[in-house]
Amino acid sequence: MKKIILILAVALFSAVSCQKDSVRILEQIAGEWHYSAVENGVSEDVYVSFTEDGLFEMYQKIGEGPYWYSAGEYALDAESMVLSGVYTDRYPWKYTYKVSVSDNTLTMSALEQEGYTVTYSRESIPASVRQMSLPLTKSEQVELFL
């Protein structure tokens, strides 16, 4: 009987410990992030916001066009540190990502495309970006960043 109680106590402790790790990682990712770069001669400017309850918003500008707004849900596997998501119209992200968070840096490496890594810096989304963005749906022909 003591063995069973000990096994149950260890299992409960492990479950609580894993749950605490998940909460801690979600707290680290939650917030607003910014990525800006020039790739293949085209400027990209992306702001993304993650909430602790699994929602995201993204404001994306490619080249000289407007910022495009999209939103949806994300999931993070705290054990493997794999991040995935779907947009509000249930369209999946282009990639799933292995993520790491260090201080004010979020690094996302695509699992489906070796060598494709994007590094975000913690930065608030400007009010002007939020106000001037246009809604984006899957039917529109804009390459989604996530």
| Residue 41 domain-assigned (yes or no) | yes
pLDDT in 10s for each residue of the chain, 146 residues = 545 544 444 444 444 444 444 557 768 899 999 999 988 888 999 999 999 999 999 999 999 989 999 999 999 998 999 999 999 989 999 999 999 998 899 999 999 999 999 999 999 999 999 999 999 866 454 555 66
H/E segment holding residue 19: helix 2-29
| Residue 34 domain-assigned (yes or no) | yes
Q: Can you tell me the distance from the alpha carbon of 21 to that of 8, in angstroms, rounded to the nearest whole number?
A: 20
CB-based contact 122:32 (threshold 8 Å): yes
Domain enclosing residue 112, as ranges: 2-135
Angle, CA of 133, 134 and 135, to the nearest 5°: 125
What is the pTM for the complete model shown?
0.78
- Domain count of the fold of the chain: 1
CATH assignment of the domain containing 40: 2.40.128.370
